[in-house]
């Protein structure tokens, strides 16, 4: 199976953990090293997958179909089937969290945006839990979700955060819509879309208004030993963690602090903070449920077919402005909020 392997924990964070020479963090260091080693071999496969024809789902359109597997601490997919659509809870926390998270993501796409699963054609949603031993990541591999249990020192189980589940599954939505190249600004937009729809799934599930939400991605992943609340923050990029071991969250909020780097496919997990913050600003300016106003605009932008695979920030900003004008009217409050948000983060004049 070809793997696209969009993972929730960015390479710069895994690099830092893998380099630890403190005996107290030896298991975490080994776990991060294994997670890093799995990233490199799939880069070419990802490039090939982006050029391949998009495959559609085989499930009945409009019908939610979930299947959860247990890898049993092996790194073999999919593993043993433990729960199918309509089955009762298994009692395995990770399996049941994955089942619920897939359903919440499907519900947002279906009930709010009228899309049948991530591909628009009812694709079955698959997940594997208990992948590997102390595996420090969760990822979308082009066909299904995969969740590690964490090392227990820095990271706990990766199904504990709904935003992790919905973030990774949104990579599938992007794969079946814009198919944004995972490099530079288009790659950062790819990551940002997953963060945006990831938090929208959580906010909708909790019934939160935009001004009451945490806007955090990966909240609850870190153990109590870490000085940090999450992996990323759309509200305040660069503030999600500040830890003696992990360092400080490197995300910029504006183009003034854009990071030029050759690592992490051109900083896709870092510079995504800029479009993330633009969405936060637009959503909170409009108020109310973020999945309604700004969420509809971003969804329209993604599915209307006008986003090139190598889209940069200014092109995406203009596309969201056009989408806002089409849905809500030129000069509307919504259109002005989107325009103001991109200007505030320095992407547009």
Provide the pLDDT for residue 60: 66
| Per-residue confidence (pLDDT) for residue 23, from 0 to 100 | 83
From the list 217, 256, 253, the residue with the least C-alpha distance to 233 is 217
- Spatial CA neighbour of 295 closest among 255, 254, 270, 323: 323
Residue pLDDT, tens place only, 18-29? 998 888 888 889
8 A C-beta contact, residue 320 and residue 301: yes
Give the tens place of pLDDT for each residue, 151-161.
999 999 999 99
167 assigned to active site? no
Q: Which of 168, 181, 191, 202 is catalytic?
A: 168
Other CB atoms within 10 A of residue 342 CB: 25
- pTM over 0.85? The answer is yes
In the prediction, which pLDDT does 59 show? 62
Asked if pLDDT for residue 77 goes beyond 90, the answer is yes
Q: Is the pLDDT of residue 181 over 80?
A: yes
Rounded Cα distance between 100 and 90, Å, is 12
Which DSSP category does 120 fall into?
S
Q: What strand order describes the sheet that includes 66-70?
A: 6-7, 138-140, 145-147, 125-129, 66-70, 80-84
d(CA 290, CA 269): 22
Instruction: Judge whether 130 counts as a catalytic residue.
Output: no
Q: Pick from 233, 303, 221, 311: which is nearest to 274 by CA?
A: 233
Tens digit of each residue's pLDDT (9 = 90 or more) over 236-271 = 999 999 999 899 999 999 999 999 999 999 999 999
- At residue 166 the predicted structure's pLDDT band, cuts being 50, 70 and 90, is very high
Q: Given this model, what pLDDT does residue 5 score?
A: 56
In terms of phi and psi (left: phi > 0; alpha: psi -120 to 50; beta: otherwise), the region of 142 is left
Q: What is the pLDDT of residues 277-290, one digit of tens each?
A: 999 999 999 999 99
DSSP 212: G
The pLDDT > 90 percentage for the chain reads 79
Six token digits for residue 303: 């599915």
End-to-end, the C-alpha distance of the chain in Å comes to 44
Catalytic residue among 171, 269, 277, 334: 269
- Domains in the chain with CATH codes: 6-175 (3.10.170.10), 184-344 (1.10.390.10)
Q: What is the mean pLDDT of the chain?
A: 92
Tell me, what's the pLDDT at 25?
83
- Residue 91 or residue 50, greater confidence: 91
Q: Of 172, 169, 273, 258, nearest to 216 (Cα)?
A: 273
């Amino acid at each position: 199976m070809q793997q696209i392997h969009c993972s929730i924990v960015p390479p710069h964070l895994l690099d830092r953990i893998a380099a630890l020479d403190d005996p107290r963090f030896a298991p975490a260091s080994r776990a991060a090293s294994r997670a890093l080693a799995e990233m490199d071999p799939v880069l070419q496969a990802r490039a090939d997958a982006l050029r391949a024809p998009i495959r559609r789902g085989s499930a009945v359109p409009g019908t939610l179909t979930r299947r959860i597997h247990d890898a049993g601490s092996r790194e073999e997919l999919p593993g043993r089937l433990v729960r199918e659509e309509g089955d009762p809870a298994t009692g395995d926390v990770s399996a049941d969290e994955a089942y619920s998270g897939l359903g919440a993501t499907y519900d947002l796409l279906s009930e709010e945006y009228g899309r049948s699963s991530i591909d628009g054609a009812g694709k079955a949603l698959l997940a594997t839990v208990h992948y590997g031993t102390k595996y420090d990541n969760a990822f979308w591999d082009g066909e299904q979700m995969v969740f590690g249990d964490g090392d227990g020192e820095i990271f706990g189980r990766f199904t504990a955060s709904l935003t992790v589940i919905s973030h990774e599954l949104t990579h599938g939505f992007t794969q079946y819509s814009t198919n944004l190249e995972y490099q530079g600004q288009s790659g950062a937009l790819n990551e940002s879309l997953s963060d945006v729809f990831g938090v929208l799934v959580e906010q909708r599930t909790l019934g939160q208004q935009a001004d009451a939400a945490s806007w955090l991605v990966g909240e609850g992943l870190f153990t109590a030993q870490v000085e940090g609340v999450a992996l990323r923050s759309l509200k305040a990029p660069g503030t999600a963690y500040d830890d003696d071991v992990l360092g400080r969250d490197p995300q910029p909020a504006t183009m003034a602090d854009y990071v030029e780097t050759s690592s992490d496919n051109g900083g896709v997990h870092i510079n995504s903070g800029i479009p993330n913050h633009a969405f936060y600003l637009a959503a909170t300016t409009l108020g109310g449920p973020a999945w309604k106003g700004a969420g509809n605009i971003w969804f329209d932008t993604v599915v209307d077919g006008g986003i090139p695979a190598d889209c940069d920030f200014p092109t995406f900003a203009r596309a969201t402005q056009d989408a806002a004008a089409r849905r809500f009217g030129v000069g509307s409050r919504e259109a002005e909020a989107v325009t103001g948000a991109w200007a505030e983060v320095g992407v547009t004049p």
